[in-house]
Amino acid sequence: MTTDRERQPRVILHLDMNSFFASVEQAHDPKLKGIPMAVAGNPKERRGILVTCSYEARALGIYTTMPVGEAKRICPNLVIVPPDHEKYRVASNAVFTILRLYTDLVEPVSIDEAYIDITNIGGLTNARQIAEHMQQRILHELDLPCSIGIAPNKFLAKTASDMKKPMGITILRKRQVPDILWPLPVIEMHGIGKSTEKRLNEIGISTIGDLAIADESLIKNTLGKNGIRLRNRANGVDYRPVDPDAAEERKSVGSSTTLPIDETELSACLEVFKQLSEKVAQRLDRRQLAGNVIMIQIRTSDWRNQTRSRTLINPLYKAPDLYKEAAALFKQHWDGDPIRLLGITVSNVIPINELNEQLSFDSFERYAKEAKMDELVTELEKKFGPNSVKRGLGER
């Protein structure tokens, strides 16, 4: 049932820093401005990947996650710099500090984007003026460009912020949705990736407009609850509030249980993990989250606590996948001692509808770790010869 709060017109900004890591590097070194440049986890090796690149590089067909070697083939003069985690964190904190000078209703989404509710500090009448002031202040004080979308809800604000880059400000009203969004292919809609696009295409839905007017039961049967959410958003409907505490609340989702007896049977422990996987999956589903770090907790009968974790390339949110990873970790690390408590936690979580967005800072750091592994492989190959080292598929 729609509440009075949900009916109240809101004015939401989505602020998206433009090519953030590259822009921070350019702010620190003006010689990097106006040229094709990129940040890469391992700039010395052709196996490294680009974490981000300047708009001058993008104009040449270079993009985030492209291998360094391929980017260099496209643009031999591409300047590549190594990442500086601390530099980006400091810049991000400075951006959010500026945003919170306007209102406390600031919800960080990642290191370089946020939602801001300005309903009570000017509303739609002064929305563009407020957005311009934010944008210019961030540019003048931090030398960092950003784009801002203005809309009555989060989905439309995020969509609007993508319409003009860099340094754009776009207002997107709900009544404009049929003209602006409906003609676009569904893959252009936030929250829809390749697999969802394929499933929608299979039932005859190819545009956002097709999704908006599709039979609700057909969508639910195809995509479940998330399908209904996507259909609502295709119609410009999104009641999610701007929540300043959301980033903290969604860092992890977990569940644990104390066993009725000190358990020593593997099959019984695995059954507990299966039940815990179901609970965690339900909690992730309720909050529409997925995470790529899974951790298990083991407490033995003598109250020794152990935690073991694994970082995965693809975020998890379904019970069978959670169980598979948890069971594998448990089998690998349990020493056979009687068990009093078991738990599963999924962390580094993000909204499911953002799984296909640009690299988050956490995933960037994961790629940076992969780059360090590339460096080690290179050194070993220098010593023992080409192709003498093969990477395994074990725990990351």
**Distances from the Cα of 160 to the Cα of 138, 139, 305, 319, angstroms:** 19, 20, 48, 34
**Smallest Cα–Cα separation from 27: which of 142, 165, 166?**
142
Q: Contacts by 66-72 with C-beta closer than 8 Å and gap 24+?
A: 68/40, 68/42, 68/43, 71/38, 72/46
Same domain, yes or no, for 144 and 186? no
CATH assignment at residue 205: 1.10.150.20
Q: What is the pLDDT of residues 24-54, one digit of tens each?
A: 999 999 999 999 999 987 655 555 789 899 9
Q: Do the Cβ atoms of 294 and 273 come closer than 8 Å?
A: no
pTM for the structure as a whole: 0.68
Beta-strand pair 37-40/79-81? parallel
> For residues 267 and 320, what is the distance between their CA atoms, to the nearest angstrom?
16
> For residues 374 and 394, what is the distance between their CA atoms, to the nearest angstrom?
16
CATH assignment at residue 50: 3.30.70.270
Phi-psi region of 184 (alpha: psi -120 to 50; beta: other; left: phi over 0): beta
Same domain, yes or no, for 15 and 33? yes
203 located within any domain? yes
Per cent of the chain over pLDDT 70 is 84
328 located within any domain? yes
User: Given 151, 172, 193, which residue is the final one in a domain?
Assistant: 172
Same domain, yes or no, for 214 and 153? no
Same domain, yes or no, for 90 and 210? no
81 located within any domain? yes
Same domain, yes or no, for 60 and 132? yes
Same domain, yes or no, for 167 and 18? yes
What integer is the mean pLDDT of 67-73?
A: 92
Same domain, yes or no, for 67 and 138? yes
Same domain, yes or no, for 133 and 218? no
- The torsion defined by the Cα of 356, 362, 366 and 371, in degrees rounded to 10, comes to 100
Catalytic residue check, 107: no
Same domain, yes or no, for 164 and 186? no
Same domain, yes or no, for 75 and 34? yes
Flag whether 16 is marked binding. Answer: yes
- Give the model's confidence band at 4: pLDDT under 50 very low, under 70 low, under 90 confident, else very high: very low
Domain residues for the domain of 165 are 10-172
**Smallest Cα–Cα separation from 209: which of 234, 233, 176?**
234
**Distances from the Cα of 198 to the Cα of 180, 195, 332, 355, 357, angstroms:** 22, 5, 37, 16, 18
CATH assignment at residue 346: 3.30.1490.100
| Catalytic member of 25, 107, 113, 325 | 113
**Distances from the Cα of 194 to the Cα of 59, 68, 146, 200, 393, angstroms:** 24, 24, 27, 10, 25
Same domain, yes or no, for 130 and 194? no
Q: Residue 349 above 90 pLDDT?
A: no
Q: What is the pLDDT of residues 160-171, one digit of tens each?
A: 999 999 999 999
Same domain, yes or no, for 218 and 156? no
Q: How many domains does the chain have?
A: 3
Triad 313, 317, 319: Cα angle to 5°: 120
Q: Do the Cβ atoms of 151 and 123 come closer than 8 Å?
A: no
Q: Residue 362 above 60 pLDDT?
A: no
Our separate counts of H helices and E strands in the chain read: 16, 12
